[in-house]
Amino acid sequence: MAQQQYPNLSKAALRMGIMAFVFLMIATLAGGCMTTTIGSGEGAVKFSVFGGTDLDKLYGEGLQVHAPWVTLLRYDIRIQEQLEDIQALSSNGLSIGLDASIRWHPMGDKLAGLHVTYGPDYYRKLVQPELRSAVREIVGQYTPEELYSTRRTELQETIFAQVRDAVALNDVIVDAILIRDISLPDQIRTAIENKLKEEQEAERYEFTLIKERLEAQRKEIEANGQAEYQRIITGSLSSMFLRFKGIEATQELASSNNAKTVIIGSGSDGLPIILGNQ
């Protein structure tokens, strides 16, 4: 009887219930599944159940609103660092331990391609194998002595260039590779240290010889100069010149205030003899 009297009321109540349910579902979805927060230094790739991975758009920082069938996969696009302990063989077959630090970051505008090809674990699948392969290949071109002393910088630069070029083709940028330590077997390291010490001693001895040789040359030049000077002076002295210089000296002494006795013409060469007050 009541339904016959108020047919519109039941339909209105039904519509209100359906609308309330839909609103509740929308509110629930909007509060969770339909929003994703992208943190600082992150980027996100869009994946849709109906359309797959969106290769054209990168989602940046902040609150992103999307449909419930869409998932935003977040990636850290800041510079990251990883330490690697790698064992390799030198050119003569000795085991070399190498501690390397690699710094890298994904290309932000190409995250979608990186995600499709390698996924979130791209470091383990791409960067790490390239680093280990490059280290083993390049270390095999050097002897332990070269790695331990003279060519360490060259080794680091060569490894960096090879890894950088390899991963750049797959949307990752390598910023630096630093060789922190090179470990050699104790006997090899001791032998190398002794060899370097002997080379330093030999260089120091060679320097001493060169120094002594130069000093001997200097003394020889100095002696030759003095001998030449004496030769020139001796050749220029004559008896008349010496007698003139003697007379000149006598005149200077005679004019001085010191007490003296001068005997004229009594010397063997005719020069005056000058006696003091003794």
Model confidence over 9-39: pLDDT tens digits? 566 777 787 887 777 666 655 555 678 899 9
Mean pLDDT of the chain: 80
Q: What is the pLDDT of residue 278?
A: 45
User: 176: part of which helix (H) or strand (E)?
Assistant: strand 172-183
Q: What is the pLDDT of residue 104?
A: 96
Distance CA 80, CA 58 (A): 20
**Comparing C-alpha atoms, which of 102, 104, 105 is closest to residue 42?**
105
Q: What is the pLDDT of residue 31?
A: 53
The answer to whether residues 78 and 169 touch, using CB atoms and an 8 Å cutoff, is no
Distance CA 65, CA 37 (A): 9
Residues of the chain scoring pLDDT < 70: 1-11, 24-33, 187-199, 235-246, 249, 253-254, 256-278
Residue 256 pairs with which residues in a beta bridge? Answer: none
- Sign of the Cα torsion 242, 246, 247, 251 reads positive
Place of tokens 């003394």: 219
What DSSP line would sit under 57-123, residue for residue? --B-SEEEE--TTEEEEEEE-S-EEEEEEEEEE-TTS-EEEEEEEEEEEE-GGGHHHHHHHT-TTHI
- Half-sphere exposure at residue 188, Cβ-oriented, CA atoms within 13 angstroms: 18
Q: What is the pLDDT of residue 82?
A: 95
> Coil, strand, or helix at residue 170?
coil
The answer to whether residues 35 and 59 touch, using CB atoms and an 8 Å cutoff, is no
Cβ-count burial 36-69 (b if 16+ within 10 Å, e if not): bebeeebbbbbbeeeeeeeeeebbeeeebebeee
User: What's the token pair of residue 8?
Assistant: 């519109």
Distance CA 273, CA 41 (A): 108
User: 13: part of which helix (H) or strand (E)?
Assistant: helix 7-31
**pTM, rounded to two decimals:** 0.59
Q: What is the pLDDT of residue 108?
A: 86
Q: Which class would CATH give 80-184? A: alpha beta
Q: What is the pLDDT of residue 136?
A: 93
Dihedral angle computed from the Cα positions of residues 57, 63, 68 and 70, in that order, rounded to the nearest 10 degrees: 20
